Amino acid sequence: MCTDFARYERTTCVHLIRCDCFYVSAERVWRPELANKPVVVAGSGDGCVIARSDEAKALGIKMGEAVHLVRQQHWRSGLIICSANFPLYGDASSRLMRSVATVAPKITPYSIDKNKLHTVDAQS
């Protein structure tokens, strides 16, 4: 009698976790008053937009736009401009990945707001 061992092979699955508007989301965790408001995060030196909330996207603000132009064009909209806080974003990413690690055996960092999770699923 032959046994079909292929039925018992394990399959490795890779899942991608991507956090939408990660820098803005991290700012909102620590500053809840930013919720539901147009928010952009300015890069080092506050030169250009490196992150936007959905509300800021709806205003037509683009990634990489010069902050001084965005400020001039959207000052009436209640736009909030945050200087980048990379230690905060690193801490938020670490906290998130520690939580995810409780359910995923292996995590491969891809970037501060993207990670690959490796899981093994038994097939029957």
Per-residue pLDDT of the chain (124 residues; tens, 9 = 90+): 445 545 545 667 777 777 888 999 999 999 999 999 999 999 988 899 999 999 999 999 999 999 999 999 998 999 999 999 999 999 998 898 888 888 777 777 767 776 666 666 644 4
> Is residue 5 one of the residues assigned to a domain?
no
- pLDDT at position 7 is 53
Please tell me the pTM assigned to this model. 0.76
Count structural domains, the chain: 1
Domain that includes residue 18, residue range: 10-122
Q: What is the CATH number of the domain that holds 82?
A: 3.40.1170.60
How many CB atoms are located within 10 Å of the residue 63 CB?
A: 11
> Is residue 22 one of the residues assigned to a domain?
yes
CA atoms within 13 A on the CB side of 1: 1
